[in-house]
Every structure is written in structure tokens, then in C-alpha cells.
Amino acid sequence: MNELFEKVYNNQHLNRIEAERIAEKMFEGQLTDSQLAAFLTALKCKGETAEEMAGIADTIRRKAVLIDCQKDNVMDNCGTGGDRSGSFNISTTAAFVLASGGVTVAKHGNRSISSKSGSADIFECLGVNINLSPERTSLLLEEVGLAFLFAPHLHPKMKYVMKVRKELGTPTVLNLIGPLTNPVSLDSQLMGTYRRDLLAETAKTLSELGRSRAVVVNGAGGLDEASLAGTTHFALLQDKQITMHTIEPEEFGFARLPLESIRGGNAKQNTEILLSILKNQASPYLDTVLLNAGLGFFSNGKVTTIQAGISLAKECVASGAAMAKLEQLIQVQKEVA
């Protein structure tokens, strides 16, 4: 183990097996706080690779409470967070649009960490039970095509790293790989990241983890979502090939707007924003969700172009299908509970 630590300290990359060996010790509580802090810090300073991220993420998944899902082409649209933008809950809102368009969404998430409200806080405000058993969560995925997966309940081994993460006070590889640790076996993914420099490396990691198709996105201003504020950069993974792209809001008929226009608030305020979007009330919030949901449909392979995805997203919201999906989720969860 000391040899592996020395390798990272000397600015050398680990292969996937080596990363898994360290992660195994990490998530069984077999590293001291000093060892854990030194490793996470050294890895960040060196720069994380796809093999390292895949090795750690896969170890977390193997130790998670697994959720069975028999549906085809299941996706997640969870982001890393950490962009400090103060935006509303974009991916949470987009999940209802995606599910209403026929995509099965296993929405992995947590409570607020660096923002005022996390996805778990929003689902609770909407009246969704985030504490369902794995079996009942599976039923929601089967019957509704949408379920919320509350990360702390599904990753009990993360308790061994929480103290050090809080004390370090800086994002580490564990922030970067949060969206990679979904306990459901995903086929496709839309993943936002605050690290534009790691777009291609993160897409490579998704390929290592078995995704057949994925988009890793970083918006203007460092947003871990597609943004109306300027150029959005993304890496597209398709059939193990990765290509880099940029898009502008004007390409899809959206006005270019500052990040302040999508500023969110606490969980109650962000829930009100979500409901206004599902009611198709025109606003920068709505346009931002349409762009991201459109990119989600494209990531999933439901459509072949982002423009077609945005058109489908508009249809899902305008028809009331996205709001109906929220109502269905609330109703069915009561029945399975």
C-alpha cells in the first residue's frame, strides 16, 4: 500500500487495479485519516485519470445497496455540483421532462452540500419519499420510469471518508465521481461537471464503467449543466469513441442570458421554480431546463440531434406530460409504500 501511495506522491498515475486496491482499503475504514487526506490531496494535485476514477467509482458501486431495474437504456442526469453558481435545481427538474418523454431515469442525488438545496431536498418538498426500500425503488423505476436514489442510504461505506472530506474543505476525486456511482446499471448518462479540463477524461471513465452512450457537460461560467450564459462545452461518448463539441444558446433559438437569471434559493423557492417550469411558464428557468432536457434526450439516444431533443422537451412540458409524470410518481410511491 505504501508503494502505491508513493507512486501518487511522485506524480505517477495509478492503473485501475491499483486504484481499486486503495479504494478497497478506503471504504473498509482501513486507512488512517492522515493516509486518506494525503492520498486525496496528492491525487488532486497530480490530476485524476480515467483509470483512477473508474477504479474508485466501481469500488463504491460494488459496496453499494444495488437497485434492480429490468428496463432498457436506463439513464441518470446527475451532476457533480461544486460549481458555486447558486443556480436552481436544473437536473432535478429536467429528470421529470426526460421521464415524461419515455426515458427511464434513475436520479441519483443527495441533500445540499455546496448549494442551498440539493435534489433530495427538492424531492422531499414535492412530497416524494426519499427513504423507500431498494425493492420499492425498483418498482418505481418499472412502473413510473423515474425514481430518486438517495445516495447516503445506498452508499453506507462512504461513512469512512466523510470526516476527512469535511476537514479538507476542498473538492477531491470523490466529488468528481459522485455521479459515476449510481447503484443502477446505467446504459447512458448526461453528467455535468465543474471541471472543464476533465471533460474527455470523465467521458473515458464512463466508457470504462460500461456506458454505451454519454455526454459530459460544462457550461459557461463553469456551470455543471448546459448554460444560456455562453458557450457550453461537452464530450460525447458513443460506441467507445469520444469527441469534443461546443454549443451556443442562439443555435437553438434561446437568448443569451447571464447566470444571475437562473439564480435559485432554498429548497422551497427552488421547488416553486420547478413547478413553474412544469406548468410551462416562460422564463430563463424554463429555457435552461429545455436545453438540458434536450441534451439529455440526445445523451440517451432517444433522438439523434440536440435540436430534436429540445423539440421533444418542449412538447413534454407544453402538453402537461412532465407535470403528469410528477403526479404519477407521487401517486405510485404511495401505493408501493
Is 196 annotated as ligand-binding?
A: no
Listed residue (234, 153, 162, 161) closest to 199, CA to CA: 234
Show the cell assigned to 23: 479504494
From 149, 173, 145, select the one nearest 161 (Cα to Cα). 173
Cell of 139: 418498482
- The 10 Å CB-count burial string (b at 16+, else e) for 138-172 is bbbbbebbbbbbbbebbbebbebbeebbeebeebb
The verdict on whether residue 108 carries a ligand-binding annotation is: yes
Is 122 part of any known ligand binding site? no
Residue 276 among known ligand-binding residues: no
Q: Is 107 annotated as a binding residue?
A: yes
Residue 204 is assigned to a ligand binding site: no
The set of long-range contacts for 272-277, using a CB threshold of 8 Å and a minimum separation of 24, is: 273/88, 273/89, 273/93, 274/88, 274/89, 274/92, 274/93, 274/96, 274/122, 274/126, 277/93, 277/317
Question: Partners of 140 in the beta sheet?
Answer: none
The reply to whether 86 sits in an annotated binding site is: no
239 marked among binding-site residues: no
87 labeled binding residue: yes
Grid look-up 424531492 returns 123
Whether residue 110 is annotated as binding a ligand: the answer is yes
CA of residue 166 relative to chain centroid, distance: 21
Q: Is 24 annotated as a binding residue?
A: no
218 assigned ligand-binding residue: no
Residue 133 assigned as binding residue: no
295 exposed, middle or buried (CB, 10 Å; 0-12, 13-18, 19+)?
buried
Residue 119 in marked binding region:
yes
Rounded to whole angstroms, the Cα distance separating 148 from 110 reads 10
Q: Is 83 among the annotated ligand-binding positions?
A: yes
Q: Annotated binding residue at 79?
A: yes
Q: Is 29 annotated as a binding residue?
A: no
Q: Which residues are annotated as a binding site for Mg(2+)?
A: 91, 224-225
Q: Which residues are annotated as a binding site?
A: 79, 82-83, 87, 89-92, 107-115, 119, 165, 224-225
Q: Which residues are annotated as a binding site for anthranilate?
A: 79, 110, 165
Q: Which residues are annotated as a binding site for 5-phospho-alpha-D-ribose 1-diphosphate?
A: 79, 82-83, 87, 89-92, 107-115, 119
